[in-house]
A = this chain, B = another copy of it.
Amino acid sequence: MLNNVKIAIDAMGSDYGPSVIVSGAALSMERNPDSKYIFFGDKELIFSETKKHKILENSFEIIGTKETIGPEDKPSQALRKMKNTSMGMSLDYLSKKNVDAVVSAGNTGALMGISRLKVKTLSGILRPAIAATFPHSHGEFVLLDLGANTVCNSENLVQFAIMGTEFAKVVLGKPNPKVAILNIGKEQEKGKEFIHNAAKLINSTYIKNNFIGYIEGNEITKGIADVVVTDGFSGNIALKTAEGVANLCSKYIKSLFTGSLSGKLAYILTKKSLTTLSEKLDPRKRNGALFLGLNGIVIKSHGGADDTSFASAIDIAYEFTQEGVGSKIIKGIHELNNS
C-alpha cells in the first residue's frame, strides 16, 4: 500500500463549479484517509470551499491557475491555452511524476488531447480509449471506448480489445477475459465493414481464443463477455442510454414504495435489499472512467457529477494507484506491444 497517494484534482471542470469538487474530495478522503490532494484552479474559491470540510485539513495543496477550459472548447483550442489552466497544469504534474493520478470532470476531448501530449500514449498505441466497468446480471464487464474516439478504424478496435483485455485481467481479476465487439447482429455480415475487419484481425492476435465475436446491446448485461469493444460514438450512446434506463427504473421502483400505505409498509420490509438495489442502479456510484493507453492514470468524471459521484471518480483514481493496478495495466499493454 502506498502512503500519501497524491491525486491531482482539476477543480474547475465541473458543471457546478469547485464546491462540488471539493466536497467530493472530502467524501473520498473519508474512505481513503492516506490521500493527498492537489487542487488546480481558482485559489481563493477553492480555499474557501476547503474550509467547509475539516477532514481536508493538512491534506491538500492548491495550485492557482487563471484560465479554464470550457465545455465548448475544441481540443485544438484547449491545447493552445492549456498552459495556465487547471486541466493543463494537473496533467503537467502527472507527466512530471509529481502526482500519482489526475481526476477531471472537464471537457473530455480537451482532457484526452492534453493527456496525449503531456502524459503520452504507450508506445504502439494509436489512440487511447475511455474504459469503465459496468454491472451485468452476475458481475461486471469492461466497456470501451466510451467516447474518446468518435470515428474508429479496425486497428483501433483491435487495440481496444487488447487494452480492454489487460484492463479486465487486473480489474475483474480474470486471467482470460472473454472479448466481444458490440454490433447490431450476430451474423457475420451485420453492421459495418471496419467491425468485420477488426473481427478478422483479432483472430490473429494472442487474445483470439478469448474472442467470442459480436455481441448485441441486449446481451451486454447478460455477462456473456468480460470486455465489450466499440467505437467511441456507439460506446457513449450505449453507456448513456443504460444510465437513462437505470434512472428510469429507479424512479419506477421509488413510486412503488411511496404511492400507498401498503407500499410504505413494503418499503420497510425490503429496505435493506432495496438499498443494495438502488446502489446497483445508481450511475453516480460508477462515475469515473479510465483513459486507457496512456503512460499514467487519468480519470474522467461526468461533468454533471454531484459530490457523491465525483467522490467515486476519486475513489477509482485511488484504487488504480494501489498495488500498482494502474501500472500493471500499463505494463501489460506495453509488454505486448514489445512482444
Which A residues lie at the B interface, using CB under 8 A?
71-72, 74, 135-137, 147, 150-151, 182, 184, 187-189, 191-192, 216-222, 230, 232-234, 236-249, 251-253, 255-257, 259-260, 262-263, 265-267, 269-270, 273-274, 277, 280-281, 283
A184 touches B249 (CB 8 A): no
Q: Given A217-B241, A256-B274, A266-B270, are A135 and B248 neighbors across the interface (CB < 8 Å)?
A: yes
Q: How far is the CB of A66 from chain B (nearest CB, A)?
A: 23
CB distance from A288 to the nearest CB of B (A): 16
Contact A244–B217 (Cβ < 8 Å) = yes
B248 touches A136 (CB 8 A): yes
Report whether A150 and B240 are in contact in the complex, using a CB–CB cutoff of 8 Å.
no
Do A244 and B219 touch (CB < 8 A)?
yes
Closest to A74 in B: B189
A48 to chain B, nearest CB (A): 30
Q: Which of B192, B265, B281 contacts A249, CB < 8 Å?
A: B281
Closest CB of chain B to A40's CB: distance in Å?
23
- Contacts A233-B234, A248-B136, A266-B266 given; indicate if A255 touches B273 (C-beta within 8 A): yes
Copies of this chain in the oligomer: 2
Q: Evaluate contact between B273 and A236: CB separation under 8 angstroms.
A: no
- B217→A238 contact, CB < 8 A: yes
Q: Is A218's CB under 8 angstroms from B243's CB? A: yes
In the complex, A172 Cα to B218 Cα: how many Å?
Answer: 26
A270-B244 contact given A233-B184, A252-B277, CB 8 Å threshold: no
CB distance from A320 to the nearest CB of B (A): 25
11 of the cross-chain contacts (CB-CB < 8 Å) are: A135-B248, A150-B184, A182-B237, A216-B240, A219-B244, A237-B241, A245-B245, A246-B249, A256-B270, A257-B270, A260-B273
Q: Do residues B273 and A259 form an inter-chain contact, with CB atoms below 8 A?
A: yes
A219 to B191, CA, bound (A): 25
A217, B236: Cβ atoms closer than 8 Å: yes
Report A109 CB to chain B, min CB distance, Å. Answer: 8
Task: Find A192's partner among B233, B238, B262, B263 (CB 8 Å cutoff).
Answer: B233
A256 to B267, CA, bound (A): 11
- Give the distance in Å from the alpha carbon of A245 to the alpha carbon of B71 in the complex: 29
A37 to B265, CA, bound (A): 48
Q: How far is the CA of A244 from the CA of B262 in the complex (A)?
A: 30
* Known A217-B238, A218-B283, A245-B246; 7 more pairs at CB < 8 Å: A72-B187, A72-B188, A184-B240, A217-B236, A218-B241, A221-B244, A263-B270
